[in-house]
Amino acid sequence: MNELARITEALLFLSPEPVSLERLADATESGEGEVLEALARLREHYADGYRGVVLREVAGGFTLATDPVAEKAARRLLARPRTPPLTQAQAECLAIVGYLQPVSRPEIARIRGVASESATATLLERGLVEESGRSRFGAVLYRTTELFQKLFGLEALDALPDVSRFDPTPEDERDLRERLLKAGEARAEPHQA
């Protein structure tokens, strides 16, 4: 390992947050190309499956993390509770903020069909989303945080899979449509709104 790789390793070890290529280059007073080379060397050292620590690229930067092989022992040693899983409501809000950001609470409610106050509050409290100004109607807008990217192992926001991947299949869609039409036809008589 050359000196730049050694220094890069130390910086990633010390920094509590992922460090971008640019900041690594600044701190080491090197070019980004050199740092990328150093990172490649580090990656060899921290090859998946061979070490307890792995080099990861998340939230727009590089960081070291422990391999899941150590999860159980780490829990015994640190007695730090795992981050609680997301409830369905929280996950839905997070998905909407993740894909549509910046997005307001009324908009989240429109899509979910349900007021989303408490789920949004929890996501804010857990640091997964944050406020991001106001819409032109004055509603608070939300976006995801770096912690979100870190905890979900995303290199960047656009590393989220394309949202069309979650669209219902054409068969599901046709099926749903037919059922709706039947419901409509069953009521030829107008009802009161």
Chain residues 22-51 in contact with another protein, contact rule CB under 8 A: none
Q: How far is the CB of 27 from a second copy (least distance, A)?
A: 4
Smaller CB distance to another protein: residue 1 or 32? 1
CB atoms within 10 A of CB 103: 22
CB atoms within 10 A of CB 172: 10
Smaller CB distance to another protein: residue 37 or 126? 126
* Cα dihedral: 49, 53, 59, 62 (round 10): -100
Separation of alpha carbons 164 and 66, rounded Å: 33
Q: Footprint of a second copy on residues 27-66 (CB under 8 A)?
A: 27-29, 50-53, 64, 66
Partner in contact with 6, chosen from a second copy, another protein, none, beta carbon below 5 to 8 Å by kind: a second copy
Which residue among 21, 34, 41, 74 contacts a second copy (CB under 8 A)?
Answer: 74
Separation of alpha carbons 83 and 90, rounded Å: 14
Dihedral of CA 57/60/63/66: which sign? negative
Q: How far is the CB of 87 from a second copy (least distance, A)?
A: 26
23-31, 103-111, 136-144, 154-162 -> range binding a second copy (CB under 8 A): 23-31
Amino acid making up residue 18: P
Give the x-and-dash track for 100-119 against another protein (CB under 8 A): -----xxx-xxxxxxx-xx-
Q: Is 82 in the site for a second copy (CB under 8 A)?
A: no
Separation of alpha carbons 140 and 133, rounded Å: 6
DSSP 58: E
DSSP 180: H
Site for a second copy, rule CB under 8 A: 1, 3, 5-11, 13-15, 19, 23-24, 26-29, 50-53, 64, 66-67, 69-70, 73-74, 76-78
